[in-house]
Amino acid sequence: MSLNSRPRVLFVIGSMGGGGAERQILEIIKRLDRARFEPLLYLAVKQGELLDEVPTDVPIFAFWDGTPETLLRRILRYAKLTRLLRHIHLAQVLRSQRIDVIYDRTYLATLDAAGGCWLRPTRRVSCCVADPGPELELHVRFSVTVSRWFARRAYRRASIVLANSEGLRNRVIEYFQLPPDHVKVFYNLLADVRTEENGREQIEPSSIEGSVKSLVPARTERELVRSACSKVDGRFLIVNAGRLHPQKGHRNLLEAIDDLVNKRGRLLRLVIFGKGETEAELKEFVRSHRLESSVTFAGFVGDPRHWYQNADLFVLPSHFEGMPNALIEAIDSGVPALSTDCPSGPREILDGGRCGGLVPAGDSTAIADCIAAAMDHRDEWRSRAELARERVRAMFDPDKGIRRLENLFEGIVAGN
């Protein structure tokens, strides 16, 4: 342990991009009691939209921080052995900074942390925040069987594994054949709303699409999003937030909007917050189906919740999740919610459908039907939204959550 007797906790994640895992790392670091712990941050790549929000008292270490690449790095990358070099680098940080416990948040971060701890043994808390099957297949390089074996060993060697929903805990135990008492449920922390002043909100000019842009080209990008999120035209306002990635099911949501607008004649507007690899494909779908006046891509914002005040519905169309922060935060904002019944998280959040809509994952027609029901029965959906809000505030109380995590860290450092 460090000389001042405060346990040094190293948080490990790939980058500080705008995803849910990164936002949870940031929230934990901000709330961690500095009188009891010293937080440090380790990144595979020193980049991301949330990087500037890391508290100034938290040292940041990164395998790749923009410095010129060495010959050894080029050779290892060519041989597809970059991960080994990251393990060595992380072990050096563990040793030089006298780290007492590691907290890794994602599948890839768990592999890095396990490798670093093999070279410099350190107690470790590993988190599983998404269905391990699709997650592993998404990142596999050679063999799923071999990758699964390595991942199983990484989770087994952790001091404890935390899953952020009960459904995910059961899935992790079954998929990696872990002892049940080795995996605990630890819910996400409900983050405070970050305003334009305290959250360094930013909207990229190239991310604004749709009729709003063509009608008022002289306005700033922020005003364009504000206009899209307003109710001046009386249309039913749907919002969505998340990384633009195949996992998130945005294509199914756009297919549902196409059904509602072009086939059923419904008047609505969808605003999507986020950026990612499927952005061009999704924008092309909007153009080819003449949905420019109904769909706006609002780009990345640090926290979209202060744009939700006029929203009539939040839709999460994901194919799989762990515990979706975007859904939790929309509900906390008082917005009625519709989600796919994907593994895992939404069913727990919405209490099996009592607190919002649940439809099969990947079913665009079911999403469209449920949106239509929300449009036709707004009072009923607002009542369900109130139930949901009470539920998430009890489940994801950040003060209770951070105290529980702090106690966990102290117990692990003490060898319990």
Residue 407 region, left (φ>0) first, then alpha (ψ -120 to 50), else beta? alpha
Distance between CA atoms of 141 and 80, rounded to whole angstroms?
9
Task: Determine the structural domain holding residue 35 and report its residue range.
Answer: 8-189+397-413
Backbone angles phi, psi at 41, to 5 degrees: -125, 135
Q: Are 17 and 62 part of one and the same domain?
A: yes
For the residues 392-408, what does the mean pLDDT come to?
95
What pLDDT score does 80 carry? 65
- The secondary structure of residue 299, as a DSSP letter, is E
Establish if 82 belongs to a structural domain. Answer: yes
Q: Are 111 and 234 part of one and the same domain?
A: no
For the residues 99-110, what does the mean pLDDT come to?
95
Q: Are 404 and 324 part of one and the same domain?
A: no
pLDDT digits (tens, 9 = 90+) for 268-291: 999 999 999 999 999 999 999 999
Q: Are 17 and 152 part of one and the same domain?
A: yes
What pLDDT score does 292 carry? 94
Q: Could you tell me the pLDDT band of residue 79, with boundaries at 50, 70 and 90?
A: low
Q: Are 140 and 244 part of one and the same domain?
A: no
The domain tally of the chain equals 2
Q: Which residues contact 370 (CB under 8 A, 6 or more apart)?
A: 338, 357, 359
In the predicted model, is pLDDT for residue 370 greater than 80?
yes
Q: Are 34 and 165 part of one and the same domain?
A: yes
Longest dimension (CA), the chain: 68
Q: Are 35 and 16 part of one and the same domain?
A: yes
Of residues 80 and 374, more confidently modeled: 374
Of 136-150, 303-317, 394-408, where does mean pLDDT reach its minimum? Answer: 136-150
Q: Are 228 and 310 part of one and the same domain?
A: yes
In the predicted model, is pLDDT for residue 206 greater than 60?
no
Return the percentage of the chain with pLDDT > 70, whole number.
89
Question: Is the peptide bond prior to 344 cis by the omega test (within 30 degrees of 0)?
Answer: yes
What pLDDT score does 4 carry? 56
Pairing mode of beta strands 101-104, 60-64: unpaired
Domain CATH code at residue 294: 3.40.50.2000
Structural contact between residues 349 and 341, judged by C-beta atoms closer than 8 angstroms? no
CA 221 to chain centre: 25
* Bridge partners, 316 (sequence order): 339
Establish if 107 belongs to a structural domain. Answer: yes
Helix, strand, or coil here: 333? coil
Of residues 209 and 216, more confidently modeled: 209
Structural contact between residues 18 and 49, judged by C-beta atoms closer than 8 angstroms? yes
What pLDDT score does 211 carry? 39
Helical pair 279-288 and 250-258, crossing angle rounded to 10 deg: 10
Structural contact between residues 26 and 179, judged by C-beta atoms closer than 8 angstroms? no
Q: Are 384 and 402 part of one and the same domain?
A: no
Q: Could you tell me the pLDDT band of residue 76, with boundaries at 50, 70 and 90?
A: low
For the residues 18-47, what does the mean pLDDT come to?
94
Establish if 199 belongs to a structural domain. Answer: no
Backbone angles phi, psi at 45, to 5 degrees: -135, 130
Cα angle for residues 208, 261, 215 (degrees, 5° grid): 35
Establish if 54 belongs to a structural domain. Answer: yes
What pLDDT score does 1 carry? 58
Of 87-91, 136-140, 345-349, 407-411, where does mean pLDDT reach its minimum? Answer: 136-140
Establish if 101 belongs to a structural domain. Answer: yes
Establish if 124 belongs to a structural domain. Answer: yes
Q: Are 272 and 165 part of one and the same domain?
A: no
What pLDDT score does 66 carry? 66
Q: Are 31 and 87 part of one and the same domain?
A: yes
Establish if 75 belongs to a structural domain. Answer: yes
pLDDT digits (tens, 9 = 90+) for 311-368: 999 999 999 888 899 999 999 999 999 999 998 889 999 999 999 999 999 999 999 9
Establish if 2 belongs to a structural domain. Answer: no
**How does the average pLDDT of the chain come out, rounded?**
88
Q: Are 176 and 318 part of one and the same domain?
A: no
